Chain A
Amino acid sequence: DVVLTQTPVSLSVTLGDQASISCRSSQSLEYSDGYTYLEWYLQKPGQSPQLLIYEVSNRFSGVPDRFIGSGSGTDFTLKISRVEPEDLGVYYCFQATHDPLTFGSGTKLEIK
Chain B
Amino acid sequence: VQLVESGGGLVQPGKSLKLSCSASGFTFSSYGMHWIRQAPGKGLDWVAYISSSSGTVYADAVKGRFTISRDNAKNTLYLQLNSLKSEDTAIYYCARRVPWGWFAYWGQGTLVTVSS
Contact = CB atoms under 8 A, between A and B. Distances in A.
Interface string A18-53: 000000000000000000000101010000110100
A49 B102 contact: no
B46 A102 contact: yes
Contacts of B36: 103
Interface in A6-27: none
A51 B102 contact: yes
Contact of B60 (A39, A48, A100): A100
A90 B43 contact: yes
Contact of A92 (B43, B57, B93, B104): B43
B31 interface: no
The binding surface of chain B is classed by DSSP as strand
A100 B106 contact: no
Given A99-B57, A100-B58, A48 B93 contact: yes
A65 interface: no
Nearest to B43: A106
B71 interface: no
Interface in B2-46: 34, 36, 43-46
A1 interface: yes
B1 interface: no
A5 interface: no
B104 A51 contact: yes
11 contacts: A41-B103, A48-B93, A51-B104, A94-B103, A96-B97, A100-B46, A100-B57, A101-B46, A102-B46, A103-B36, A103-B43
